[in-house]
A and B are shown apart, each in its own frame.
Chain A
Amino acid sequence: MVDIKPDEISAILRQQLSNFNESASLEEVGTVLQVGDGIALVYGLNSVRQGELVEFENGVRAIALNLEEDNVGVVLMGESAGIKEGSKVKRTGMIASIKVGESMLGRVVNTLGEPIDGKGPLAGELYEMPLERKAPGVLFREPVKEPLQTGIKAIDAMIPIGRGQRELVIGDRQTGKTAICVDTIINQKEFYAAGKPVYCIYVAIGQKASTVAGVIKTLEENGAMPYTTVVLASASDPAPLQFYAPFAGAAIGEFFRDTGRPALVIYDDLSKQAVAYREVSLLLRRPPGREAYPGDVFYLHSRLLERSAKVINNDAIAQTMNDLPPSIKHLVKGGGSLTALPIIETQAADVSAYIPTNVISITDGQIFLETNLFLSGIRPAINVGISVSRVGGNAQIKSMKKVSGTLKLDQALFREMEAFSKFGGDLDAATKNVIDKGARNLEILKQPQFAPYSVEKQVAMIYIGTNNLIREVPVKNVKAFEAAFMSEMELKHADILAEFKKGNLPEEGLAKMTDLVNKMIPQFK
Chain B
Amino acid sequence: MELLTPDLGLFVWTLIAFLLVFVILAKFAWKPILSSLNEREKGIADSIATAQRVKSEMAAMQAENQKIMAEAREERTQMLKEAKELKDKIVNEAKDQAKNEASKIISDARVQIDHLKMAAMTEVKNEVASLALQVAEKVLRKNLSNDAEQSSFAKKLAEEVSLN
Contact = CB atoms under 8 A, between A and B. Distances in A.
Nearest to B164: A26
B132 interface: yes
B114 to A, nearest CB: 7
Contacts of B136: 17
Interface string B92-123: 00000000000000000001001101110100
B146 interface: no
Interface string A4-34: 1010111011000100010011100000000
A519 interface: no
A120 interface: yes
Contact of A12 (B121, B129, B157): B129
B115 A21 contact: no
Contacts of B125: 4, 8-9, 12
A21 B128 contact: no
B45 interface: no
Contact of B129 (A13, A21, A120): A13
B111 to A, nearest CB: 8
B90 interface: no
B162 interface: yes
A460 to B, nearest CB: 21
Contacts of A24: 157, 161
A21 B157 contact: yes
Given A9-B129, A13-B132, A118-B119, A4 B157 contact: no
Contacts of A511: none
A2 B125 CA distance: 13
Contacts of B164: 26
Interface in B135-164: 136, 157, 160-164
A413 B120 CA distance: 64
A10 B124 CA distance: 13
A26 B163 contact: yes
B161 A118 contact: no
A119 B121 contact: no
Interface in A21-52: 21, 24-26
Secondary structure of the B side of the interface? helix
Contact of A21 (B132, B160, B162): B160
Interface string A187-224: 00000000000000000000000000000000000000
A483 interface: no
Contacts of B157: 21, 24
Give the size category of A's interface with B.
10 to 19
B58 to A, nearest CB: 33
A1 interface: yes
B115 A119 contact: yes
Contacts of B119: 118
A128 to B, nearest CB: 25
A103 to B, nearest CB: 15
Contacts of A26: 163-164
A4 B157 CA distance: 36
Nearest to A22: B160
Contacts of B128: 6, 9
A9 B162 CA distance: 31
A13 B126 CA distance: 11
Nearest to B120: A4
Nearest to A26: B163
Contacts of B132: 9-10, 13
A481 to B, nearest CB: 21
A6 B121 CA distance: 11
A120 B118 contact: yes
A18 B147 CA distance: 24
Given A12-B129, A13-B129, A13-B132, A4 B115 contact: no
B115 A2 contact: no
A114 to B, nearest CB: 14
A4 B124 contact: yes
Interface of B: 111, 114-115, 117-119, 121, 124-125, 128-129, 132, 136, 157, 160-164
Given A4-B124, A9-B128, A13-B132, 14 more contacts: A1-B117, A2-B121, A4-B121, A4-B125, A6-B128, A9-B125, A17-B136, A21-B157, A24-B157, A24-B161, A25-B162, A26-B163, A119-B115, A120-B115
Q: Rank and list the top 9 A-B pairs by shortest CB-CB distance, nearest first.
A: A9-B128, A4-B121, A9-B125, A13-B132, A120-B118, A26-B163, A24-B161, A4-B124, A119-B115
